Amino acid sequence: MNPLRWRSEHQLALVVFAALGGIGGLLAAWFVSPLYKLSSASLSGEWSNMTAVFKLWITAPGLYWPWPAIGATITGLAFYAVNLARLPALGRSS
């Protein structure tokens, strides 16, 4: 079952699910980041502004790049597996 031969709506859905997985991975990376923990524990000072700390953190992809990649890969593979499992049940070919 070649994803390149899927109908365009299935290909678009795969891209959307992978993007959502990447965003979820990015959020998971932010929530386990030491900078998040530092900014959420600070009551005053420059580290208490969580938006500024997030902007600082997002400019350094070396701190978080595996998380969105893993999230996108897992959701993409899950979408592929669901389509693969549904194919024989529907009695149609790709």
Region 80-86: what's the mean pLDDT? 87
Domain boundaries, the chain: 30-88
Residue 6 has pLDDT above 60, yes or no: yes
Q: Which two tokens stand for residue 42?
A: 């600070």
Buried b / exposed e along 22-54 (16+ C-beta atoms within 10 A): bebbbeebbeebebbeebeeeeeeebeebeebe
Region 59-80: what's the mean pLDDT? 94
Q: How far is CA 73 from the centre of its chain?
A: 8
pTM of the model: 0.79
Residue 65 has pLDDT above 60, yes or no: yes
Which of 57, 56, 49 has its CA nearest to residue 31?
57
What is the pLDDT, as a whole number, of residue 78? 94
Measured N-to-C along each axis, helices 34-41 and 8-32 cross at an angle, to the nearest 10 degrees, of 60
